Amino acid sequence: MDFSLALPDEICAELGARTRARRVQLNFSVEEMAQRIGVSYQTLSHFERHGKCSLSTFVRTLEALNATPDLQSVLVQQAQTIEDMRVKSAGSQRQRAYRKSRSSQ
């Protein structure tokens, strides 16, 4: 699946399916895996089927599956070229966002 073309719910569902595949590959039952990460088996099963869980549960799941190195490239600041930095510094100053005054409400 190309995440850049997918909707958020599709990405979540795919991550849940990948989690299940990795768990099965490592020969963990849902109950055993849930116990390892400290959630109910229903919570883990729901995540694997629908891709919905808390971020904390997701990270603990990755830890249990030895997959935390997969997070290394997530939200890493992209390197800029010198030309990009020059253009950015020559641009306009940052301004505060516009906010309606209370008297007009």
Residue 65 lies in a domain: yes
Q: Could you tell me if 12 and 55 are in contact, meaning their C-beta atoms sit under 8 angstroms apart?
A: no
Residue 4 lies in a domain: no
Q: What percent of the chain has pLDDT over 70?
A: 86
Residue 58 lies in a domain: yes
pTM: 0.71
The confidence score (pLDDT) of residue 94 equals 61
Residue 44 lies in a domain: yes
The confidence score (pLDDT) of residue 29 equals 96
Of residues 72 and 102, the one with the higher pLDDT is: 72
Residue 2 lies in a domain: no
Q: Which domain holds residue 35?
A: 25-71
**Summary mean pLDDT of the chain:** 88
Please give the span between the terminal C-alpha atoms of the chain, in angstroms, as a whole number: 46
Place of tokens 């719910």: 9
3-state secondary structure of 22: helix
Total domains present in the chain: 1
38: left (phi > 0), else alpha (psi -120 to 50), else beta? Answer: left
Residue 17 lies in a domain: no
Residue 91 lies in a domain: no
Q: How confident is the model at residue 1 (pLDDT cuts 50, 70, 90)?
A: confident
Q: Could you tell me if 71 and 62 are in contact, meaning their C-beta atoms sit under 8 angstroms apart?
A: yes
